[in-house]
């Protein structure tokens, strides 16, 4: 299992050719209390960098971008009723969707955990 | 993920209020707002919001535009002096300022020649004899320079403007505000909602007014910059008080049904469609002597084409500023403020709709990111006002 991170604070955990996508603990803390999440439906296709989901705090709505290209196999239905999962467990139960990668090579352009940690420290 | 994370706006030209260091020390996340670096949140918008409704929240609103307008003619005294300065400001606002009692404050609107709203503001008649030719006025921070330019141009030779935005304006809001503040300003508990008085704290002259922007009981205190930090530090040391940022200030005022100038009010809107006709008292309606009287008098008699209303999104998605309101696929209005209300624990919004759709209970579609979401027109406020009338 490989976990990679984007500069826009998404994470993707890849198992075979399917990746689970969410927002990082850093992002969840910056957002504050999440009150609504709109996850993509199964079957929708995205290119790396496309808007794929929306997360809303009391303050504002933020787009979540596809960390890689591919087709969504499943959105996290739990978040519709319990968006607070994103704050409680952003890099676990608060995942947004699963995506079938169309180009695994795109992962090479993302950061590993150590690189992401130092990226956040520089913000 | 975008937004809310980092702000690329240059902070070089931004001003700081006298409490800047106090905010940073309290963990405030500073953002640009109305030309100032202001705290958007401390421990979190939701917690700060709920704390203010239950206890007491301290807000720095020094970015706003407190000022004094004083009659140039110093030969008048008492009620005559008040009548003269009131007659001047009534050239620009449609409220009965002449009828204010000493210590009384009133919300009003600054109008353009067409009756459109240039700002909403609070005007107070001071208590002391020597200030009867003076009005204490607080205008919005985002438009204070244009408001003040309008005052100076309109009243040239007749009244003098003294800016007080080099001072500190603090708001202490919430049900426990009165018990906290009376330890500093004994007697403030005797003020009623929309009353204001000169009071002293450690020999520092302050203006203490019982009003605010949260729907809760509370106070606003005008204090000189230098002692303001000591007062803020002491207030924050009280376990009933926490610092509150702009994020919760916005969600609190939205639940309370209070307008934000620039979003819910702008120069194209008149007081009638803004559901603020109540700021125009009977004596002014009868005289119809205010700016834009033709448009406003007609709207008062016949109703306006659109009306400001509360809107409840019935699904979980917040509907924010700019969201179109549709009925049967046609646009019938727009949301001007929208977000999540922590006290009602649901999304809340306000906006303008065609007047025939303004009845509470009317079903509407809110076009959130292109998708229709169910919504309903509702009465304002979303949370009951707890003013000490």
Residue B283 pLDDT > 60, yes or no? yes
Mean pLDDT of chain A: 95
Best mutation site among A21, A56, A97 for testing chain B: the one with the most B CBs within 10 Å?
Answer: A56
pLDDT tens digits for range B360-388: 999 999 999 999 999 999 999 999 999 99
Q: What 3-state DSSP class applies to B270? A: coil
Choose between B6 and A20: higher pLDDT.
A20
Interface confidence (ipTM) of the complex:
0.87
Residue B4 pLDDT > 60, yes or no? no
* Residue B39: predicted pLDDT: 97
* Residue B8: predicted pLDDT: 45
Residues of B in contact with A64 (CB under 8 A): 1
pLDDT average, residue stretch B242-267: 98
CA distance B345 to chain A (A): 9
* Residue B2: predicted pLDDT: 67
CA distance A63 to chain B (A): 5
Chain A residues with CB under 8 Å of a chain B CB are 8-10, 23, 27, 30-33, 35-36, 38, 54-65, 80-81, 83, 123
Phi then psi for residue B288, to 5 deg, are 45, 50
Burial class (CB in 10 A: 0-12, 13-18, 19+), B83: middle
Tokens of B248: 């919760």
Q: State how far the Cα of B270 lies from the Cα of B296, in Å rounded to an integer.
A: 7
Q: State how far the Cα of B196 lies from the Cα of B219, in Å rounded to an integer.
A: 9
What does the buried/exposed string (b/e) look like for B371-387 if buried means 16 or more CB atoms within 10 Å of the residue's CB?
eebebebbebbbbeebb
Q: Compute CA distances B385 → A48, B240, B339, B351, whole Å.
A: 48, 20, 19, 20
Among the partner residues B1, B340, B369, nearest to A58 by beta-carbon distance: B340
* Residue B5: predicted pLDDT: 45
* Residue B13: predicted pLDDT: 87
Q: Confidence band (pLDDT; 50, 70, 90) for B10? A: low
Can you say whether residue B374 is alpha, beta or left, with left for phi > 0 and alpha for psi between -120 and 50 degrees? beta
Mean pLDDT of chain B: 96
* Residue A123: predicted pLDDT: 87
Q: State how far the Cα of A45 lies from the Cα of A66, in Å rounded to an integer.
A: 10
Residues of A in contact with B41 (CB under 8 A): 32, 59
- Hey, are the CB atoms on B247 and A23 less than 8 Å from each other? no
Residue B140 pLDDT > 90, yes or no? yes
pLDDT average, residue stretch A42-47: 96
Among the partner residues A8, A10, A61, nearest to B320 by beta-carbon distance: A61
pLDDT tens digits for range B118-135: 999 999 999 999 999 999
* Residue B12: predicted pLDDT: 62
Q: State how far the Cα of B105 lies from the Cα of B107, in Å rounded to an integer.
A: 7
Q: What is the CA radius of gyration of chain B?
A: 21
Nearest of A95, A3, A91, A86 to residue A40 by alpha carbon: A95
pLDDT tens digits for range B97-121: 999 999 999 999 999 999 999 999 9
CA distance A1 to chain B (A): 23
pTM check: above 0.90: yes
Q: State how far the Cα of B353 lies from the Cα of B309, in Å rounded to an integer.
A: 7
Q: DSSP code of B45?
A: H
Q: What share of chain B in percent tops pLDDT 90? A: 96
Among the partner residues A9, A36, A81, nearest to B5 by beta-carbon distance: A9
Q: What share of chain B in percent tops pLDDT 70? A: 97
* Residue B151: predicted pLDDT: 98
Residues of B in contact with A65 (CB under 8 A): 1-2
Which residues make Cβ contacts (< 8 Å) with residue B124, sequence separation at least 6?
A: B100, B103, B104, B105, B106, B135, B136, B137, B196, B209
Name the residue with tokens 């009306």.
Answer: B307
Phi then psi for residue B373, to 5 deg, are -120, 140
Residue B84 pLDDT > 70, yes or no? yes
């Amino acid at each position: 299992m490989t976990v990679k991170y984007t500069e826009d604070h998404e994470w993707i955990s890849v198992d075979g050719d399917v990746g689970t996508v969410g927002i990082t603990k850093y992002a969840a803390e910056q957002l504050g209390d999440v009150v609504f999440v709109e996850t993509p439906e199964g079957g929708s296709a995205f290119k790396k960098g496309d808007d794929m989901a929306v997360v809303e705090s009391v303050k504002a709505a933020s787009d979540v971008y596809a960390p890689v290209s591919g087709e969504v196999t499943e959105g996290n239905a739990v978040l519709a009723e319990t968006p607070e999962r994103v704050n409680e467990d952003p890099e676990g139960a608060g995942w947004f969707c699963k995506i079938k990668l169309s180009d695994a090579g795109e992962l090479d352009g993302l950061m590993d955990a150590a690189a992401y940690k130092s990226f956040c420290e520089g913000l | 993920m975008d937004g809310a994370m980092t702000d690329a706006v240059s902070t070089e030209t931004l001003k700081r209020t006298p409490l800047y260091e106090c905010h940073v020390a309290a963990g405030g996340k500073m953002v640009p707002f109305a030309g100032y670096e202001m705290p958007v949140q401390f421990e979190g918008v939701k917690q700060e919001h709920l704390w203010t409704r239950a206890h007491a929240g301290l807000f720095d609103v020094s970015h706003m535009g407190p000022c004094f307008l004083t009659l140039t003619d110093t030969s008048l005294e008492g009620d005559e002096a008040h009548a003269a300065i009131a007659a001047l400001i009534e050239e620009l606002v449609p409220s009965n300022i002449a009828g204010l009692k000493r210590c009384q404050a009133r919300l009003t609107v600054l109008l353009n020649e067409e009756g459109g709203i240039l700002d909403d503001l609070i005007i107070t008649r001071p208590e002391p004899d020597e200030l009867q030719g003076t009005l204490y006025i607080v205008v919005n921070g985002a438009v204070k320079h244009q408001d003040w330019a309008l005052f100076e141009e309109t009243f040239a030779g007749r009244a003098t403007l003294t800016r007080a935005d080099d001072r500190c304006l603090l708001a202490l809001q919430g049900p426990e505000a009165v018990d906290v503040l009376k330890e500093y300003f004994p007697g403030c508990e005797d003020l009623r909602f929309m009353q204001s008085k000169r009071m002293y704290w450690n020999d520092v002259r302050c203006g203490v007014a019982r009003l605010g922007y949260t729907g809760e009981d509370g106070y606003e205190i005008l204090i000189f910059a230098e002692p303001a930090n000591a007062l803020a530090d002491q207030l924050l040391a009280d376990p009933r008080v926490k610092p509150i940022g702009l994020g919760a200030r916005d969600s609190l005022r939205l639940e309370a049904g209070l307008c934000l100038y620039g979003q819910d009010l702008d120069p194209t809107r008149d007081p009638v469609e803004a559901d603020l006709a109540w700021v125009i008292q009977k004596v002014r309606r009868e005289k119809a002597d205010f700016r834009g009287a033709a448009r406003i008098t007609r709207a008062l008699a016949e109703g306006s084409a659109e009306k400001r209303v509360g809107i409840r999104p019935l699904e979980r998605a917040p509907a924010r500023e700019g969201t179109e309101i549709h009925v049967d696929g046609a646009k019938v209005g727009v949301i001007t403020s929208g977000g999540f209300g922590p006290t009602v624990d649901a999304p809340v919004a306000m906006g303008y709709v065609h007047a025939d759709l303004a009845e509470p209970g009317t079903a509407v579609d809110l076009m959130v990111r292109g998708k229709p979401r169910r919504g309903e027109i509702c009465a304002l406020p979303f949370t009951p006002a707890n003013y000490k009338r």
